[in-house]
Structure 1
């Protein structure tokens, strides 16, 4: 039953993709939109496959993924300890709440010019912006997860003489882990968006976003732009799929994954 449900979900998703590609192909072939502006989906897919054999392009994709991984890793290293601190020490949470609420709405893309002036236009800028954007989902999911841990389990440990740190490590952190994992999954998508967007706005260097930006400046470069977008979307889909699979294996008891392991 579980396997059948997952297969059905997979086939429905594949059907949706095929229908979307078919509509795009028909619109372009029918001349509703000029092919120089909107090439057929088949040509875009062929170009996407061709790029898999382009070593320069693959090096750029590798540069984007390195910035993505470094930024996401730093975000985890920052957000999880801070989230545990804010969620378990109300005084600290109250003291920094105003600062957090001031910084959180700032769009990361708007910080690109400032960070570029401070750090240049290399990997450091991408990593810094990816880290900043990725911190918030992990941080708030960690705080929320602490609030959802079983109060009876915590009180039981305290009644047996366990201290705050022991309660945190034995009850609160394991109970919060699924929420942290969900935050990481959300941040992974945000991190990829920021990595590519920073490269596009920078306009030079190496990376998937650089390829898209340079293709956009070329004559009849729409096909290459869309092929780059296909790669970006595929990377996001693969990353999300891997993280969902990891959550299902690590936390099969959670409501989101119960019955789907």
Structure 2
């Protein structure tokens, strides 16, 4: 199945789902106070970009997501390179990593809010925590995929460990690191909005939804949800396109064509 065919089927699935929800809302199968007709939600969503408050809330969420992702990359990628280059250190730290990694980020929201009274700082800290794991694990996995013959060849010509890391290990691991970044991006928005829902003081999409819900404007709350989904989809498509363009050689070597 080609990419266009998959995209067409996906679009038909979305349209079918929207039609079912619209019918359920219009016929009263789902009370309008619980779920307004989807056409009403989409109409409100179309007007939200004109709302200055909503635009500032979106920027607040994106600021926490992007800054947290950048900080996580600066921490997790070097840490992964270090652990992947020193097997004894990697074996020593691996149990701790495997213990901390499965802990849901949202379960740490109360602790983050206690440590960082400003909700924007709490958001950024939790985004850093969430993004660090896929970046770290994929960096380790990428280093394990490096061709040992290429490293031995450079060593035979007198290159030191740092030169081998820079010339062979890091370029070989780069596609895996990019995949880790794409996975991290897909969850940053979830974490940021979750914090904003519980601590709406510094704004954000979650704060906008909380305010709309308290005013019983379910349509505005769901419209903000639509935009959150569109932003997440756009970020994933952007990272996927960049990954495909920058590392096409890796996809061809591994036989990945999708």
Q: TM-score category by the smaller chain? A: over 0.9
Partner of 1:61: 58
Structure 1: 5+ residue stretches without partners: none
State how far apart, in whole Å, the 2-side matches of 1:200 and 1:24 are. 25
Structure 2 residues not aligned, in runs of 5+: none
Q: Name the Cα RMSD after superposition.
A: 1.7
> Would the aligned equivalents of 2:22 and 2:38 in 1 still touch at CA under 8 Å?
yes
- Work out whether residues 72 and 129 of structure 2, in 8 Å CA contact, stay in contact via their aligned partners in 1: yes
Q: Contact 1:248–1:257 (CA<8 Å) still a contact in 2? A: no
TM-score norm. by structure 1 comes to 0.93
Aligned to 2:246: 250
Q: Distance in 1 between matches of 2:248 and 2:37?
A: 42
Partner of 1:240: 236
Report the Cα distance in structure 2 between the residues aligned to 1:205 and 1:259, rounded to whole angstroms: 43
Post-superposition Cα deviations, 1:98-149, rounded to whole Å, max 9, x if no partner, equal 3222322222112111221221133111101110111000000000010011
Map 1:54-203 onto structure 2 (within 5 A): 54-203=51-200
Cα deviation, residue 259, structure 1: 4.6
Count of residues in correspondence between the two structures: 256
Partners in 1 of 2:15 and 2:9 — Cα distance? 10
**1:253 counterpart SS class:** helix
Tell me the equivalent position of 1:41. Answer: 38
C-alpha distance in 1 between matches for 2:200 and 2:256: 45
Tell me how far 1:161 sits from its aligned partner. 2.2
Q: Offset of 1:257 from its aligned partner?
A: 8.2
Distance 2:98 2:255 in 1: 31
Query: Given that residues 252 and 258 in structure 1 are in contact (C-alpha distance below 8 angstroms), is that contact kept between their aligned partners in structure 2?
Result: no
Q: 2:214 aligns with which of 217, 230, 238?
A: 217
Please give the per-residue CA displacement for 1:223-243, whole angstroms capped at 9, x wherever unaligned: 112111101100000000100
Q: Using structure 2 for the length normalisation, give the TM-score.
A: 0.94
Deviation of 1:48 after TM superposition, in Å, equals 0.5
Whole-angstrom distance in 2 between the partners of 1:124 and 1:88: 32
C-alpha displacement of 1:258: 5.1
Check the 8 A contact 1:80/1:138 in 2, yes or no: yes
Change (3 A) 1:97 1:259: closer
**Equivalent runs, 1:222-233 vs 2, <5 Å:** 222-233=218-229
The range that moved more, 226-235 or 11-20, is 11-20
Tell me: CA distance 1:257–1:45, structure 2 relative to 1, closer, same or farther (3 Å): farther
How far did 1:159 drift? 2.2
Q: Report how far residue 82 of structure 1 moved.
A: 0.4
CA distance in 2, matches of 1:67, 1:87: 29
Question: Partners in 1 of 2:148 and 2:9 — Cα distance?
Answer: 41
Report the secondary structure of 2:32's partner residue: coil
Deviations 1:165-195 (A, max 9, x none): 1111111111100000000000011111111
